[in-house]
Structure 1
Amino acid sequence: MYPPKHHQDYNNENIKSVAINYPFAILISAQETKPFVTHAPLIFHGDKLVGHIDANNPHVHLLKGKHPITVVFQGPQTYISPSIYTTNQLPTWNYIIAHATGTVEEIKDPEVIKKSMVIMTDFLENPNQAFNLSIEDPRMDRLIPYIHCFEIEVQQWEGKFKLSQDKVPADIENAKQELIKNNQKSVADFVNGLFKKHF
């Protein structure tokens, strides 16, 4: 991702924390000039990222055989109005984003696939686990032919955390609070509005 350096985070643990807390990822592959983009949750199995998508997705043929892939995890983001600063500034946009680049390989063993689904469910159910997926559930065996499971060996992590780091401490704090407030409010407003239109 484009610098400037003061918006880059070089601590892999910080960058991976975006993937852990915002696991719904954008998977990007390319074949010649044609891009393939899929949205799916990914979770860590050791140092690798593991996910599942519909076996009929046309992206599947690039999610095997050590094809290169880029994954984007997007954390909170918001417009920052100059009105929140104590100093004279221009409008901007703050965000927390992590990129992972590496190679992807198909997982074919049905037992490994089922186990990965149980691990993902346990992870996503935390911290208040209300549902446990059993690897013995007969529906799992019926599902296997319809999903494509894959793992990504990450070769590089890159983090861009644009958080008004170049401002004075009071403005950094104000921008942080604006990021928190706007994400909580915008999600509630958008989802409530969407449900009113469709239901």
Structure 2
Amino acid sequence: MKITLFGATGRVGGGVLKKALADGHEVTVLVRSPEKLTPHDRLTIVQGNVCDKEAVTEAISGAERVFSALGTDKTTTLTEAVPQMIKAMRAESIERIVTIGTAGILQSRTQPEKVRYEAGDSSKRLTFAAEEHHKVFDMLRQSGLDWTIICPTFLPSGGAVGDYRIGRDFLPENGKAISVGDTAAFAYGELMTGNHIGYRVGIAY
């Protein structure tokens, strides 16, 4: 399978990249700093900016599925990049995209008509990031693509142990953390299986 991956030099994106290559898939990544990646015979590296239409189009060309682990990093990069991904996917007739979001955009259990950051369920200091991810959620809902947003809560470093819970559109009750390894493992599995198309998926121990 041919996969395009954004955010390959990050923690979750790097984990998904390793799994995809180990399983024999061909992966194209778009990164600013290629030197951060280890060369591989099934890895194609496109150097560029994720907000640049031409770079995104080049990276997505020929793909069957798209994965994004882009974060906000206190900028609007995420909300500038995703529209370029959607346009390029439509042009290539690619339907499947999985992204990493934040637990703040899951529905609140105390006020189900609101998402968690709006209801005050999540940390106020993360409001900007949550707002950016919320905009991406709206973009994907309106895109017509087969999307899934994986929404981890607190993300400490650590490998995959497998003993976690998931919830469609909600964070599992009393979920406090989920390791980078388990987030990457679940996200990669969802990219392969498509068990939760059209949902945000909360993940936590």
TM-score by length of 2: 0.22
Higher strand share: 1
Q: Rg: which structure is higher? A: 1
Greater length-normalized contact order (CA 8 Å, ≥ 6 residues apart): 1
Q: TM-score, normalised by structure 1?
A: 0.22
